[in-house]
Amino acid sequence: MAIEPVRRSFAILEALSRRPHATLAVLAGETSLPRPTVVRLLGTLVELGYATQVSRSQGYRLTDRVLALAQGIRFIDHLVDIAAPHMQRFTQDHGWPLYLGSISHRAITIRYSTAAESPLSFERTALQRRSPILSGALGRAWLAFSTEEERRAILRDLGVRYDAKLATDFARIRRDGHAFSVVTRTARLQGIAVAIHRNERVLGCISMRFTRSAMSEATAGARYGAPLTALARTIAIDVASE
C-alpha cells in the first residue's frame, strides 16, 4: 500500500520534471493537491536540495541533485555499452542468444539481448522482459553471488524464507560458477546464467537460453559454463577500467 506523503512528494517531483519551472498554482492544479500541502512538500524538497525557488513569479524548479537518483540507471546503460560487443562476439562464435539482466523491483529485467543476431534464437527481442528471481537462471545467479546481506534483503523483499535448501542451492551455484532456471519437465527452453561481479558486488547477470532438445543441463554446463564465466569476467574488468 502506498504511503501517502511519499506519493504526494513524487507527484510534485514529476510535475516539476515536466517543465523548466512551475508556480504553486500550477503544481496544485496539476497534482490535485491542496495548496498548503504543495507548500509544505516544496519546503521539504528545497531543504533537501532537490528543488529551489526561482522567483515569486516563476515559482520552483528542480536542481541537478535529482540526477543522482538516476545513477543506477546510468550505470546500467554504461554496463550495456561495455557488455554488448562481448556478448555479440559470443553469439557469433557459439550461436546461442545471450541476455543481460539487472535486478529491478522484485524481478530481473532484461537490459540487452543478442537474440536478434542469433541463428538459434526463438525470439527477436526480449528487452525489458521481466524474469522471476527465484526460478530464473539470471535471478538465481544474482542471489548466489550477492553478498549475504544483499541476498537476505532480496529474499525478505520477496517474502521468501532463507532456509537450508536455498542456502545449499546457492552454495552449489557458487561452486559450479553458473545457475540454471528451475523449469517443468515439459518446458522446451532452459537457461544457464553467470554473474558479472566485482569486489563482491553483482553488477549484472548474463544468461544463455537454449532448447532442451539440443542438450542437457550437464552438457550445457560442461560446454558453456567456462566460456560464459570468462565472458562475465572480461566485462567486469572492462567496467572497472572505465
pLDDT given for residue 186 in this prediction = 92
Q: What topology is assigned to 4-62 in CATH?
A: Arc Repressor Mutant, subunit A (1.10.10)
pLDDT given for residue 170 in this prediction = 97
pLDDT given for residue 21 in this prediction = 85
pLDDT given for residue 1 in this prediction = 61
pLDDT given for residue 13 in this prediction = 92
pLDDT given for residue 64 in this prediction = 75
Q: Which residues of the chain have pLDDT under 50?
A: none
SS (H, E, C) the chain: CCCHHHHHHHHHHHHHHCCCCECHHHHHHHHCCCHHHHHHHHHHHHHHCCEEEEECCCEEEECHHHHHHHHHHHHHHHHHHHHHHHHHHHHHHHCCCEEEEEECCCCEEEEEECHHHCCCCCCCCCCCCEECCCCCHHHHHHHHHCCHHHHHHHHHHHCCCCCHHHHHHHHHHHHHCCEECCCCCCCCEEEEEEEEEECCEEEEEEEEEEECCCCCHHHHHHHHHHHHHHHHHHHHHHHHHC
pLDDT in tens, 40-60: 999 999 999 899 888 888 899
pLDDT given for residue 72 in this prediction = 59
Architecture of domain 70-241: 2-Layer Sandwich (3.30)
pLDDT given for residue 125 in this prediction = 67
Tell me whether the CATH fold assigned to 4-62 matches the one assigned to 70-241.
no
Q: Where are the domains of the chain?
A: 4-62, 70-241
